[in-house]
Amino acid sequence: MIEGLPMAVPAPGLPARVRIHEVGARDGLQNEKAIVPVEVKAEFIHRLADAGLTTIEATSFVHPKWVPQLADAEQLMPLLADLGGPGVGLRLPVLVPNERGLERALAHGVREIAVFGSATESFAKANLNRTVDEALEMFAPVVARATEAGVRVRGYLSMCFGDPWEGPVPLARVADVSRRLIDLGCDELSLGDTIGVATPGHVSALLAALNQAGVPTEQIGVHFHDTYGQALANTLAALQHGVTTVDASAGGLGGCPYAKSATGNLATEDLVWMLHGLGIETGVDLGRLTATSVWMADRLGRPSPSRTVRALSHKES
Ligand code: HMG
Ligand code: MG
């Protein structure tokens, strides 16, 4: 074992490679009360790219009053021009809720967007000021126009396991809204455990229900928040089901401003430690990534909640 790296011991039935969809700069920062300077956001994203992450969600083109932290999307995108260009190979998706958001994103040459629906009415109202059906109606022209422009579309679905207002969410309800997002033309679906209440058996059952509803595993990513410490166990359940796209946030930053009790996402470092320990390739340099999260924690003025960041950075000091 090399200091700072897990010993790789593969387990049967798991994928050889996982694509990490890094959400720290968007999901991670959107909840921060103090506005992070745009230059710091740009440096954060460059550091994440240097650490080997290839899909880095950059920001959101939402209403600036709804998410003030990301009101600088127009200022940020030009600072990332060197990363998103042809031939660089980096994917820099942005969140877009409606046609207004799409227009803003297209004006900045964005090549990948994400719409974000909800499996529950309460969160659809809180997050988008729409019912579930109205939100899907709002997304329809966004997905169609984006696809026509050759822009890749991810469909997030929030509250796939439990909802802070409505409690447990039935599998059939999640499968139904998932199917409708895929039918709109989303290339990929990301299953959000927005408040982190899922457990591994629930994850397996939901993935099976989605397959039964006609959503293939290849189109599914998982997006776990770590409120109850279940995110890694849930990820392993998803990998065992064949999922190869996993969302995570550097340093475990995060939360959702419109969901009570949402805490940070699964920390990318914790995920990478497990994946590399299983002999699964990610392309990520764990040392560089940890250094980035320590740097970001200094900017935010509080330590990273990631266990791996804490373990590795204590070793360094
Ligand atoms: P609304 O108030 O219903 O907006 O908000 P509207 O459609 O009635 O429009 C009102 C005004 O806003 C209009 O201006 C629009 O032009 C303007 P006016 O004509 O009055 O001058 N407007 C915009 N301006 C800039 N950019 C836009 C835009 N849209 C409208 N895109 C809306 C509806 C969807 C806009 C609002 O609810 C919103 O922005 N919500 C975003 C909330 C959000 O970003 N939440 C966090 C991300 S989701 C998440 O974190 C979960 C996830 O991580 C997965 C998981 O964990 O589960 C993805
Ligand atoms: Mg989230």
Indicate if the pLDDT at residue 259 is higher than 70. no
Give the ligand whose atoms come closest to the C-alpha of residue 30: 1
Report the nearest-CA residue for atom 33 of ligand 1: 128
CA 190 – ligand 1 centroid, Å? 19
**7, amino acid identity:** M
pLDDT in tens, 120-130: 999 999 999 99
In which band, very low, low, confident or very high, does the pLDDT at 255 lie, cut at 50, 70 and 90?
low
- What does 16-35 look like in DSSP terms, one character per residue? SB-EEEE-IIIIITTT-SSP
List residues near ligand 1 (CB under 6 A): 27, 30, 60-63, 66-67, 95, 97-98, 100-101, 104, 116, 127-129, 156, 158, 192, 194, 223, 225, 256, 258
CA 167 – ligand 1 centroid, Å? 25
- Mean pLDDT, the chain, as a whole number? 94
Length of the chain (residues): 317
| Nearest by Cα to 256 from 84, 66, 1 | 66
How much of the chain, in percent, has pLDDT values that exceed 70?
94
CATH fold group of domain 19-316: TIM Barrel (3.20.20)
Indicate if the pLDDT at residue 316 is higher than 60. no
pLDDT in tens, 157-173: 999 999 999 999 999 99
What is the b/e burial string over 102-121, where b = at least 16 CB atoms within 10 angstroms of the residue's CB?
Answer: bebbbebebbbbbbbbbbbb
Residue 101 CA, closest ligand 1 atom number: 31
CA 9 – ligand 2 centroid, Å? 30
Residue 158 CA, closest ligand 1 atom number: 57
| Residue tagged active-site, from 181, 206, 256, 291 | 256
Indicate if the pLDDT at residue 87 is higher than 80. no
Give the ligand whose atoms come closest to the C-alpha of residue 71: 1
Q: What is the pLDDT of residue 4?
A: 78
Testing ligand 1's pocket by substitution, the residue of 62, 103, 154 carrying the most ligand atoms inside 8 A of its CB is 62
pLDDT in tens, 191-245: 999 999 999 999 999 999 999 999 999 999 999 999 999 999 999 999 999 999 9
**228, amino acid identity:** Y
Report the nearest-CA residue for atom 42 of ligand 1: 127
User: What distance in Å separates the CA atoms of residue 227 and residue 193, rounded to the nearest whole number?
Assistant: 10
pTM confidence score: 0.97
Indicate if the pLDDT at residue 1 is higher than 50. no
Indicate if the pLDDT at residue 10 is higher than 60. yes
Indicate if the pLDDT at residue 45 is higher than 70. yes
- Region class of 269: left (phi > 0), else alpha (psi between -120 and 50), else beta: alpha
Report the nearest-CA residue for atom 36 of ligand 1: 128
How much of the chain, in percent, has pLDDT values that exceed 90?
90
Residue 256 is among the residues annotated as catalytic for this protein = yes
